[in-house]
Amino acid sequence: MIMSEKFAEFVKNTNTVVVSSAVNNQPSSRIMRFATPVAGGNIWYVITAPTAPKATEFASNEKVAVITLPTESGAVISSNTTTIKLSDKSVADVKELFGEQIPGFLDMMPEAVLLAEVVYEITFKSAKLDTWTSHEIVEFD
């Protein structure tokens, strides 16, 4: 299995990521749900309220570290070579992806609240793919 296929396999088994950032030497982590526009691609979408503290943090420092929650098989994706930026996509543009990839996500908040959210793109330069018995790095162009 080539690395991009392995990354895609890991991604399809999770939809929750811890995003860690730091501003003024103050670290902060938050759990977020993500959706991917392309299976195995190096861009993930997350959404949040435009006035949330994390939106201010992301605007101040686009460098973030991410780690997914372990799957039942122990699979984890992590990276400290990721960036996050406000996307040119709207929630309406990515709503279908979130609905398909995260069961129940669209039922969690009223439509008006959901559509007031903003979309951020997490972009990977590389990622570490870990299981209980293997540790591999995948590089993206």
Concatenated DSSP letters of 67-132: EEPP-TT--EEEEEEEEEEE-S--HHHHHHHHHHHSTTGGGSS-HHHHHHSEEEEEEESEEEEE-S
- pLDDT reading at 26 higher than 80: yes
* Confidence tier at 114 by pLDDT (50, 70, 90): confident
Domain ranges of the chain: 3-139
pTM beyond 0.85: the answer is yes
- pLDDT reading at 6 higher than 70: yes
Q: What pLDDT is recorded for position 3?
A: 57
CA distances from 121 to 42, 72, 87, 103, 106 (A): 10, 26, 6, 20, 19
Q: What pLDDT is recorded for position 2?
A: 53
Averaged confidence pLDDT in the chain: 92
* Confidence tier at 1 by pLDDT (50, 70, 90): very low
Fold of 3-139: Pnp Oxidase; Chain A (2.30.110)
Q: Work out the average pLDDT over 129-140.
A: 92
More confident residue, 81 or 109: 81
